[in-house]
Amino acid sequence: MTDVIKPIALIDRSVISYLPHSTRRLPFEVPRHYHVPMPRSPEPSPKQSPKEPYVPIVKVSPRGATRLKAGHVWVYRSDIVSADGVPPGSLVRVTDHRGKPLGTALYSSSSQIAIRMISPEPVADFPALLRQRIADAINYREAHVRDAEAYRLVFSEADFLPGLIVDRYNDILSLQILTQAMDADPVRQAILGELTTRLHPASIIERVDPRVRELETLPPRASGLLQGEKTSTTFTMNSIHFRFDALEGQKTGAFLDQRENYAAAAQYTHGEALDVFCYQGGFALHLAPHCEHVTGVDSSRPALEVADQNAALNRSLLGSNEVGANEIEWIEANAFDLLKDYSSPARPQEARRYDTIVLDPPAFAKSKRDLDAALRGYKELNLRALKMLRPGGILVTCSCSYHVSQSDFLEMLASATLDAHRTLRLIEVRGQAKDHPVLLNVPETAYLKCVIASVS
């Protein structure tokens, strides 16, 4: 599952090799710059010709400059030295406290992430840069995504497009806009134009996160169609069929970041399986062809209704011997309560036992302040699951909390294993699917952990 996100490293010069040579020179004599149309300053910068569009300058502290030089792309508001009069959502030139140029960024007047770098060089034509970056993101997926009609097309900073998420579900595109700069009309037009030209979707739908728009001080906006009329479709993922309603569900729809983990888990699962936090049946449907019986648990009745529709869709297409209603049972319940009842019933002889258990909870740590509580929650889930697994059983356990590192997660799992008096052998330690790229210098782009282990 995905929460959140997601930043990029300073763009490598090779990434912007398509920019005109004139935009790659040192900005002592600044070339023409595009910026989201905003009121111009009454007086141009001394380093800019009066004939050129006004491009605001933001100065950052030595700490902020060091962060950018190390390859990160965010500068927090506490490291902004001066941004007087800079309009919300502007394309800005970034300098250190001495005035040395550091590149071009998108500015937010309200977010704690004040600037998000988009290039180490001046940007002469922002819409053109957007179009090229979208084209590059599509080319990346064409090279690396296999056996899927649904995947992430644009992953914000990880595709050098901070504040933009685009997911593809067969012939429908679902997008989210998360920053002031990406919400500007010329930017929206460039995004929609390039997506339409390259992909010819039946529809493009925007999913709005009201909380994000409030944090960015953007006007309220409803989720809905931006283009076309189609709002639902079906798609395949690892040869399993799913329904998709573009205006329902979480985020932009399904949890596409688990796509490769679904297939990996299916290789090892067997016997009786329990899928906890099953949502619309992603893991459960992948396990069903390999297991005698699968039980999916979620607290959301609408999600379980879609999961049941997905099971029926696969029964009609694949045959009842592979994925059928008799093999998957859906239970609406609180996961913590259910696992407590199953693992430690009043009468020990009534304890439930499974050969495979999947734990795929939502993010427990939305900030660093939540880390300790999150680790306690993960440990409780895993401890109870470990007690319920038969010898030789398979545990698939996940975390989509960025603030819980892989080492934190493995340490928690080791502690739960000791408390459960079990032995755990790691089969695979995995992350998010390739359509959710990870930038080495931007740790926030790596958030998903998926451990597959054998229990004895």
CATH value at residue 281: 3.40.50.150
In a domain, 4, yes or no: no
| Structure tokens that stand for 400 in this block | 């989509």
- String of b and e for 287-322 (b: at least 16 CB within 10 Å)? bbbbbebbbbbbebeebbebbbebbbbbbeebeeee
Cβ–Cβ < 8 Å for 293, 331: no
Query: Do 59 and 100 share a domain, yes or no?
Result: yes
Residue 13 binned pLDDT confidence (cut-offs 50, 70, 90): very low
**d(C-alpha 74, C-alpha 209), whole Å:** 21
Sequence-distant (≥ 6) Cβ neighbours of residue 174 within 8 angstroms: 166, 167, 168, 204, 205, 206, 207, 246, 252, 253
Query: Do 215 and 294 share a domain, yes or no?
Result: no
Query: Do 267 and 167 share a domain, yes or no?
Result: no
φ, ψ of residue 300 to 5 degrees: the values are -100, 115
Q: Please name the helix (run of DSSP H) or strand (run of DSSP E) that holds residue 104, with its range, or none.
A: strand 101-107
Q: How many domains does the chain have?
A: 3
Q: In percent, how much of the chain has pLDDT > 90? A: 79
Per-residue pLDDT averaged across 159-166, rounded? Answer: 97
Cβ–Cβ < 8 Å for 233, 171: yes
Residue 4, sorted as left (phi over 0), alpha (psi -120 to 50) or beta, turns out to be left
CATH of the domain at 202: 3.30.750.80
Cβ–Cβ < 8 Å for 260, 433: yes
In a domain, 2, yes or no: no
CA angle in degrees (0–180, nearest 5) for 92-154-368: 75
Residue 18 pLDDT exceeds 80: no
Mean predicted lDDT score pLDDT of the chain: 87
Name the catalytic one among 278, 291, 398, 400.
400
Strand runs labelled E in 108-180: 113-119, 150-155, 164-169, 172-177
Q: Which of 397, 400, 398 is closest to 363 using CA atoms?
A: 400
What pLDDT sits at residue 218? 95
Residue 147 binned pLDDT confidence (cut-offs 50, 70, 90): confident
Cβ–Cβ < 8 Å for 66, 100: no
- Burial class (CB within 10 angstroms; exposed 0-12, middle 13-18, buried 19+) of 425: exposed
Strand runs labelled E in 178-287: 203-206, 224-227, 232-237, 240-245, 272-276
Chosen domain end from 125, 140, 171: 125
Query: Do 290 and 304 share a domain, yes or no?
Result: yes
Chosen domain end from 125, 158, 178: 125
In which residue are the tokens 């296999």 written? 146
- Burial class (CB within 10 angstroms; exposed 0-12, middle 13-18, buried 19+) of 440: exposed
Cβ–Cβ < 8 Å for 259, 433: yes
Backbone Cα Rg of the chain: 24
Per-residue pLDDT averaged across 388-411, rounded? Answer: 96
Residue 376 pLDDT exceeds 60: yes
Model confidence pLDDT, tens digit, residues 34-89: 444 444 444 444 455 555 567 899 999 999 999 999 999 999 999 999 998 999 99
Q: Which of 349, 379, 380, 374 is closest to 362 using CA atoms?
A: 374
What pLDDT sits at residue 47? 53
- 400 labelled catalytic: yes
Query: Do 416 and 428 share a domain, yes or no?
Result: yes
Query: Do 110 and 145 share a domain, yes or no?
Result: no
What pLDDT sits at residue 215? 92
Model confidence pLDDT, tens digit, residues 291-315: 999 999 999 999 999 999 999 999 8
In which residue are the tokens 């054998």 written? 454
